[in-house]
Chains A and B, each alone.
Chain A
Amino acid sequence: AQKVTQAQTEISVVEKEDVTLDCVYETRDTTYYLFWYKQPPSGELVFLIRRNSFDEQNEISGRYSWNFQKSTSSFNFTITASQVVDSAVYFCALSEAGNAGNMLTFGGGTRLMVKP
């Protein structure tokens, strides 16, 4: 069975600091998809990134970057020069390719607090 672990339940940083959110996953499938979602205080989950298991290329989008390493089953998310608006709960999630319904397994989430 699949599992996603976000060991950091809460992180507090000061604005402009860099911060990395960890995500470790377990799956028996060779083809799977990994996601990060952001949930601000308003409650709506916002899609950030999707990665398939065959694409280990790291990605950068503005201040956000993602490091996917199959060897360690990790998909970590780094925010560079954090801002107060980055304060939110961040969820890492996994779906397996054989899963037509595309059900996501979520990690427990990491609450990020960025202080001015």
Chain B
Amino acid sequence: DAMVIQNPRYQVTQFGKPVTLSCSQTLNHNVMYWYQQKSSQAPKLLFHYYDKDFNNEADTPDNFQSRRPNTSFCFLDIRSPGLGDAAMYLCATSRGAGDRYTFGSGTRLTVV
């Protein structure tokens, strides 16, 4: 089945230690998104790639970076995680304007 896969499902990292979350898709969708979701809140867009074009939300902290080496993969790098970065990170894909999103199962990040 075509899908969006996020690894790992749970990630524990130390305060200040760089961490990378990964997302892959078999849908061949043009657009890939990274959302941050904190407890009892709506998902918040961090950035998205339309093909190779990177788009950063204005309020995404500089601590967060992303890479999309090819159509299938997208990575979220957190350079120096703080306690406030503990959250669920959701990857999603779509074909573009008006299309439904397909979400991965998320990575729950804990910062200790």
- Residues of A participating in the B interface, judged by any CB pair closer than 8 Å: 33, 35, 37, 42-47, 50, 52, 91, 95, 97-104, 106-109, 111
Contacts and interface: CB of A to CB of B under 8 A. Distances in A.
Nearest to B44: A106
Instruction: Identify whether the interface residues of A are mostly helix, strand, loop, or mixed.
Output: loop
Contacts of A45: 43, 90, 92, 101, 103
B98 A43 contact: no
Contacts, number: 65
Most buried by B among A43, A91, A97, A106: A43
A101 B31 contact: yes
B28 to A, nearest CB: 16
Contacts of B42: 91, 106-109
Interface residues of B, number: 26
Interface of B: 31, 33, 40-43, 45, 48, 50, 55, 88, 90, 92, 94, 96-106, 108
A102 B105 contact: no
A101 B50 contact: yes
Given A43-B105, A43-B106, A44-B105, A106 B100 contact: no
A50 B95 CA distance: 14
A79 B67 CA distance: 40
Contacts of B100: 35, 47, 50
A28 B105 CA distance: 33
Given A106-B43, A109-B42, A99 B97 contact: yes
Contact of B88 (A43, A52, A98, A104): A43
A16 to B, nearest CB: 27
Nearest to A48: B100
A102 B41 contact: no
A95 B31 CA distance: 14
20 contacts: A37-B101, A37-B103, A42-B105, A43-B88, A45-B43, A45-B92, A45-B101, A47-B102, A50-B100, A95-B98, A100-B97, A101-B31, A101-B50, A102-B94, A102-B98, A103-B33, A103-B48, A104-B45, A109-B40, A109-B42
